[in-house]
Structure 1
Amino acid sequence: MHPIDGSDTVSLKAKNIVIASGSEPSKLPGVPVDNDGKIIVDSTGALELDKVPEKLVVIGAGVIGLEMGSVWKRLGSKVTVVEFLDRITPGIDNEVAKDFQRILKKQGIDFKLGTKVISATAKPGGGATLVVEPVKGGAQETIEADVILSATGRVPYTEGLGLQNVGIKTGPRGMVEIDEHFATNVPGIYAIGDVVRGAMLAHKAEEEGIAIAEQLAGLGGHVNYDAIPGVIYTHPEVATVGKTEEELKEAG
């Protein structure tokens, strides 16, 4: 380990190691996030703005984008949400998503669905421009904004862990591959939380932490993933638990 205070490197030995390093905001090509500049920001930067932007453009109509957009709308911003898909909140029930979008539109949030982001540029004098185009083809459009929030999800935070040094297998976007007992392909090394498959939720990670601790203690730790709730903290809030109607129909 490399202590952040600059002191000497420390080596630790253990019978078992659990990787639980969490996640970080994903990066979108053509959108240069600079939280210090407070013009093109991610979810962390959106919490640190020192004033309410008159015009806020949110890239991504998922949980984080809508939560942030809802907050800044209630604080007085004119909010436009740009989403690549033709719907908001992928992964939740279609009917719920449609009703949810109607409520947000009634509150004054604008949506550009089925829209691809080409580039974002911070202007020297302040503000930014976002160039977009329809996913199905068509003319490009330039959107002016005071602040652009990139909220296209999160990715596992595994950079610098040296997983490749011991041969740990990773999947798409750096996700650590595990079996049903949280074990990686390297004996004695396990992984839980945002670095593995499944929803990136704190309470899901906590349950996995309890389960792996019980397993390593010789007990039967288990997580029922069908009973993990999720909440979108907008106004009103939207909560889900279990499978969606679409998933159940597909399963027969």
Structure 2
Amino acid sequence: MVVGEFTTEVDTIVLGAGPGGYVAAIRASQLGQKVIVVEKEHVGGVCLNVGCIPSKALISASHRYEQMAHSDAFGIKAENITIDFLKVQAFKNQVVERLTGGVRGLLKAHDIELVEGEALFVEPDVVRVNHGYESSRYKFNHCIIATGSSPIEIPGFKWSDRVLSSTGALALKEVPKKMVVIGGGYIGIELSAAYAGFGTEVVILEGSPSILPNFEKRLIAPVKKKLKEKGVTVYTQALAKGVTETAEGVSVTAEIKGEVKTFAADYVMVTVGRRPNTRDLGLDLAGVEVTERGLIKVDKQGKTTADNIYAIGDIVPGMALAHKASYEGKVAAEAIAGEASEVDYRAMPAVVFSDPEIATVGLSEEEAVKAGYEVKTGQFPFAANGRALSLGATDGFLKIVSRESDGLVLGAQIVGTNASDMIAEFGLAIESGMTIEDIALTVHAHPTLGEMAMEAAEVALGKPIHIAK
């Protein structure tokens, strides 16, 4: 229905078509709302276009190359292995196109109108969408803001053909001979390992005392070992000072524990974090308050300080995770429909697609103790698992954390091959209120990596079978 000359009325308008926005839109449509989605740049968001999905495609290709080049232990020797990196990029792009096309198809199947343009609040219940020199106005009953985040550009390192964000690093047309990576968080580590796997000489400059500073030291140890094996040099407590560019490459200057060093490379990639895309939205006109960091203040249903506006994903406090955004999107859509949905992050998994992978959910042992629990833990090594041995992937371990009084599962941490898939069992256990005895009594197929969950539970119960007590 048209209201006034250029204003369209809608039940719910969603700003952003990323993993949070498109999921929120679909759930809202399922609940009977008339929905419009506005997307400024990428249908599918950063995740599907220039983040999670393309990076995993690149990582997968890197692993395949490494496996071919280092299969002597399996009795397989391959010679003259070459990389057609343009074909690698074509594979990556094909994956992206298939998924983003799927999102468009899902929106269409749910009768959700997709409007491509840049959104701006002009009144508490009106959004203007600019499409080049034209614009449209939408009057909404409810709005869900899901505008995501952008890479942080640091002083002295302005984006260019040689100074790259993660987006630029994913789009290279060649495998660099040398690359400097500023930032040893999950994005820096994932892409460093991927390019090192292709043969790039990588230097990582991390400002804190350790790479992956938000994870336990024991989880990081196998990743550090593998990076060293790949020839990656890691400097911690390193402050990047500046870069000089030439047509052939870059020269990066850094202060490392008081000493100034210079590194020559083909490219420098900056991965020091992301900032929420909340500027230039006109949030003040909508009555939406933000924190000093630019994050939108929300309650447990995603409702902002404006009763009819919700916010989800990277623009609200908490971990910047695609699956967190999707979860919050469902909650917000259900809250708008009058349901009593609220977020509960107890079983929110986090994964680093490093080599080997790291995956966690719930509380670590240290966090559980700080929270006042008396805990009982069980740990089982990949080196004692038949499937891991047959894969030649024996680095790492699985650890389960439980409440001592009744064995309630509080959390789990895994470092090792396929950790990203294995962590789901523990998310379900936490969500369902399961105990370590429940897991130990569940028959797991043999030989699989998944049976390490049962083995670790038996260790926690004091009755291990496949390692000495």
Give TM-score scaled by structure 2 length.
0.50
Higher relative contact order, chain-length normalized (CA < 8 Å, sep 6+): 1
- Residue number in structure 2 paired with 1:228: 348
- What are the within-5 Å matches in structure 2 for residues 103-252 of structure 1? 103-123=226-246, 125-134=247-256, 136=257, 138-252=258-372
What RMSD, in angstroms, separates the aligned Cα atoms of the two structures? 1.6
Q: Work out which of the residue numbers 205, 213, 220 in structure 2 matches 1:82.
A: 205
Give the 3-state SS of the residue equivalent to 1:173 in structure 2.
Answer: coil
Q: Deviations over 1:163-220 (max 9, x none)?
A: 1233421113311111222111122111111110111111111110111111111112
In structure 2, the CA distance between the partners of 1:29 and 1:246, relative to structure 1 (3 Å rule), is: farther
Segments of structure 1 that go 5 or more residues without pairing to the other structure are none
Q: CA deviation at 1:85?
A: 0.3
In structure 2, the CA distance between the partners of 1:67 and 1:243, relative to structure 1 (3 Å rule), is: same
- Point out the more displaced range, 97-106 or 213-222: 97-106
Bigger helix share: 2
- Residue number in structure 2 paired with 1:12: 138
- Residue number in structure 1 paired with 2:222: 99
Q: CA deviation at 1:3?
A: 3.4
Q: CA deviation at 1:234?
A: 2.5
One-letter amino acid of the structure 2 residue matched with residue 19 of structure 1: I
- Residue number in structure 1 paired with 2:88: none
Q: Work out which of the residue numbers 183, 189, 195 in structure 2 matches 1:66.
A: 189
- Among the aligned pairs, what percent are the same residue? 36
Bigger radius of gyration: 2
- Residue number in structure 1 paired with 2:152: 26
Counterpart contact for 2:185–2:213, Cα < 8 Å = yes
CA distance in 1, matches of 2:131, 2:155: 30
One-letter amino acid of the structure 2 residue matched with residue 129 of structure 1: S
- Residue number in structure 1 paired with 2:165: 42
Counterpart contact for 1:55–1:145, Cα < 8 Å = yes
Counterpart contact for 1:31–1:121, Cα < 8 Å = no
Q: Deviations over 1:1-42 (max 9, x none)?
A: 3333432x21111111111111111121221112xx2x1100
CA distance in 2, matches of 1:205, 1:64: 18
CA distance in 2, matches of 1:229, 1:197: 16
CA distance in 2, matches of 1:4, 1:56: 38
Task: Please tell me whether residue 2 in structure 1 is matched to residue 129 in structure 2.
Answer: yes
Q: CA deviation at 1:156?
A: 0.7
Give the 3-state SS of the residue equivalent to 1:225 in structure 2.
Answer: coil
Q: CA deviation at 1:90?
A: 2.0
- Residue number in structure 1 paired with 2:103: none
One-letter amino acid of the structure 1 residue matched with residue 195 of structure 2: W
Q: Deviations over 1:92-134 (max 9, x none)?
A: 22210233222222222110001111112222x3211111113
Counterpart contact for 1:43–1:151, Cα < 8 Å = yes
Which 4+ runs in 1 deviate beyond 6 A? none
Q: CA deviation at 1:246?
A: 3.0
Give the 3-state SS of the residue equivalent to 1:199 in structure 2.
Answer: coil
CA distance in 1, matches of 2:238, 2:366: 24
Counterpart contact for 1:178–1:190, Cα < 8 Å = yes
- Residue number in structure 1 paired with 2:74: none
Give TM-score scaled by structure 1 length.
0.91
One-letter amino acid of the structure 1 residue matched with residue 242 of structure 2: S
Counterpart contact for 2:300–2:343, Cα < 8 Å = no
Q: Deviations over 1:223-250 (max 9, x none)?
A: 3312111221223222111123332233
How many residue pairs get aligned? The number is 245
Give the 3-state SS of the residue equivalent to 1:28 in structure 2.
Answer: coil
Q: Deviations over 1:58-116 (max 9, x none)?
A: 11111111111111111110011110001111222221023322222222211000111
Give the 3-state SS of the residue equivalent to 1:24 in structure 2.
Answer: strand
In structure 2, the CA distance between the partners of 1:5 and 1:172, relative to structure 1 (3 Å rule), is: same
In structure 2, the CA distance between the partners of 1:216 and 1:2, relative to structure 1 (3 Å rule), is: closer
Counterpart contact for 1:93–1:245, Cα < 8 Å = no
CA distance in 2, matches of 1:184, 1:114: 38
- Point out the more displaced range, 164-173 or 198-207: 164-173
One-letter amino acid of the structure 2 residue matched with residue 251 of structure 1: A
CA distance in 2, matches of 1:250, 1:130: 41
